[in-house]
Amino acid sequence: MNLNEESLQKIAELSRLKIDPKDIQNFLTDFNKVLNYVDTITELNVSSVSDEELYPNEGNSLRADKAEEGLSRSQIESFAPSFQNGYFVVPKVIET
């Protein structure tokens, strides 16, 4: 199948990405090449695979529900792009 520009923009929006308008045609061409390549799997017969095989019950990997020391505020501050008084700073999202 081939995606058109409108569908690609929709996927980009869902991905929180913006494709530069000057790159859109090249991007669309490459994306459709890849899509056509992976499209071959739509012809594979997979009906023999049961749900049990798809989701094998290998048991859960659990550990004790015990509090452990995590990262300190100063460690978080050292890699956060914007951090104040123990909080990540984000742009205002609620209009007053």
Partner 1 sequence: MKELWKLKYSDIKKGLNSGEFTPTELIQSLISRIEAEDPKIKAFLSWEKESILKAAAESTERRKSGKPLSEFDGIPIGVKDNICIENTITSCASKILENYRSPFHATAIEKLLAKGFVLIPRANMDEFAMGSSTENSAYQVTKNPFDTTRIPGGSSGGSAAAVAASFVPIALGSDTGGSVRQPASLCGIYGLKPTYGTVSRYGLVAYASSLDQIGPLSKDIDGIIDVYSVISGKDQRDATSKNIPAFDPSKVKELPWKGLKIGKMKITSEIEPDIAKAYESLLAELESKGAQLVDLDFSLLSNSIPIYYIIATAECSSNLSRFDGIRFGQRKDPSGKLEDLYVTSRSEGFGKEVQRRILLGTFSLSAGYYDAYYGRAQKARVLIKKEYEGYFSKVDLILQPTSPTTAFKVGEKTSDPIQMYKADILTTSVNLAGVPAMSVPIGTDSKGLPIGLQITAPSLHEDRIFGFAKMISDWASKVQLPEAIK
**By the 8 A CB rule, do 10 and 28 touch?**
no
Q: How far apart are CA 43 and CA 1, in angstroms?
A: 12
Burial class (CB within 10 angstroms; exposed 0-12, middle 13-18, buried 19+) of 31: middle
- Contact characters 49-78, partner 1, x per CB under 8 A: x---xx------x-x-------x---xx-x
Q: Residue from 40, 57, 84, 96 that binds partner 1 (CB under 8 A)?
A: 40
Contact track, partner 1, 1-20, x by CB under 8 A:
--x----x--xx-xxxxxxx
CB of 25 to partner 1, least distance (A): 14
